[in-house]
Amino acid sequence: MMGKYDINGKSIFFRSSWEANYALYLDFLIKQLQIRSWQFEVDTFWFEKIRRGVRSYKPDFKVMTMAGKIEYHEIKGWMDAKSKTKIKRMAKYYPNIKLIVVDQYSYKDIKNKVGKLLKFY
């Protein structure tokens, strides 16, 4: 459900409860020293040569790894045509950017591992 969620004392607007729960999961990974930090929807990637249709993409999460590398995480419970196009264009125009798509199966796996941490449904 779209709205503001309290993520460990920070009020953040998310488009879904899955995004809010994933933010809780990323905070858990910080505490486990598996990632350094995360930010929500901070970067936009433009597809300069595209004149119609999907011309830009804003991944859900920007994650800094413990090694200091940046990767992006996209929460996708359902992959529609527009989402597929964004991800394909991201791979074509930004081949050196690591994008991890968290689909319904990955989300379920996270939920099974750390379900008690996830509190938004």
What is the share, in percent, of the chain residues with pLDDT greater than 70?
100
Task: Return d(Cα 18, Cα 59) in angstroms, integer.
Answer: 14
Q: Helix 104-114 to helix 17-31 angle, to the nearest 10 degrees?
A: 50
Domains of the chain: 3-117 (3.40.1350)
**Strand (E) or helix (H) holding 61:** strand 61-65
Closest CA to 89 of 45, 33, 27: 45
pLDDT tens column, 55-104 = 999 999 999 999 999 999 999 988 999 999 999 999 999 999 999 999 99
